[in-house]
Structure 1
Amino acid sequence: MIRITKIFTFETAHVLYNYDGKCKNMHGHSYKLFVTVKGTPINDLDHPKNGMVVDFGDIKNIVKSEIIDLWDHAVLVNELSPHQILGRDLEDKGHKVIFCKYQPTCENMLYEIAEKIKNQLPETVSLAYLKLHETENSYGEWFAEDQN
């Protein structure tokens, strides 16, 4: 079994309903996402991906279409909170808003990222690990073995 990792960056803002610190104000981050998948390298001379678990380009396409294209330069808002009104107002003014069914913390974002990526991976490849940096020295991690 081999693990391979691809790293992505994107800019996203969020607003945390009922938070009791200075991050209760809408603010943005330069997120850095590490995506690690695992599998057995293809062992077939006639296969164009011979020697690979999965093409890094395929991982890039999945993450780009499922996460980056949607979340980059958007504002994540908890649609189950009164912040939904703020989100609708921003949307009406032409801003890119993503309405989440959760508090848009780094931790909860990891759950959504994991689900989106897992659903797009080839059958022979599995998601092993995610790390999402909110800042240079603050990040959350998702491990496949920790999930039920």
Structure 2
Amino acid sequence: MVYLTRVEHFNAAHKLYNPAWSREENELVFGKCANEHCHGHNYELYVTVKGKPDSGTGFVMDVKKLSTLIKEHVTDQLDHRNLNVDVPFMEGKLTSTENLAMAIWQQLAPQLPQSVQLHCIKLYETPRIYVEYFGE
């Protein structure tokens, strides 16, 4: 099995806020991230697929096609958007990095060719904070 990773970038704003909680409880749990005016991140997205190299090309997957799929189904939907209000696939979800990584998986996995499988979504919120999601 060979693993191929494509790195993409997007910028997005969000606030961490549970509507079932009071403002005080949200501020206690989420701190500045519950700011009603939101805050932003420069996200780095690592998408790793796995498969066997094609005998004709030597590729697990054409990286240009992978980049196009990520752009169409993920980054075009997220870049320069408010995750809480502008992104249909995040509707009704808390916009934590964990939930965002899982939602990205759900967006991307069905789009991949049958010859590869999605192995991992690694999403950096900051240079020191990231999550990895390997599917359910």
- 1:98 equivalent to 2:105? Answer no
Task: Look at both structures and tell me which one has the larger radius of gyration over its CA atoms.
Answer: 1
TM score, norm. by length of structure 2: 0.85
1:31 to 43, 50, 61: 43
Runs ≥4 residues deviating over 4 A: none
Q: Distance in 2 between matches of 1:101 and 1:7?
A: 27
Task: Report the alpha carbon displacement of residue 28 of structure 1 after superposing the two structures with TM.
Answer: 0.5
Cα deviation, residue 101, structure 1: 2.0
Cα distance in 2 for residues equivalent to 1:133 and 1:22 = 19
Query: Does residue 1:56 correspond to 2:63, yes or no?
Result: yes
Provide the identity percentage: 38
Q: How many residues in Structure 1 have an aligned counterpart in Structure 2? A: 122
Question: Aligned to 1:41, what secondary structure does the other structure show?
Answer: coil
The match for 2:14 is 14
Which runs of 5 or more residues in structure 2 are unaligned?
19-25
**1:136 CA displacement:** 0.6
Match of 2:126 in 1: 135
> Is 1:43–2:55 an aligned residue pair?
yes
For 1:68, the aligned partner's letter is T
Counterpart of 2:100 in 1: which secondary structure?
Answer: helix
In structure 2, what residue type is equivalent to 1:107?
E
Q: Give the secondary-structure state (helix, strand or coil) at the position aligned to 1:42.
A: coil
Q: Distance in 1 between matches of 2:92 and 2:61?
A: 32
- Displacement of 1:129 in angstroms is 0.8
Report the CA distance between 1:16 and its aligned residue. Answer: 1.5
Matches within 5 A, 1:65-84: 65-77=72-84
| Aligned match of 2:98 | 107
1:12 maps to amino acid: A
Could you state the TM-score of these two structures normalised by the residue count of structure 1?
A: 0.79
Q: What is residue 80 of structure 1 aligned with on the other side? A: none
Deviations, residues 49-79 of structure 1 (Å, cap 9, x unaligned) = x1001001111011100111111000011xx
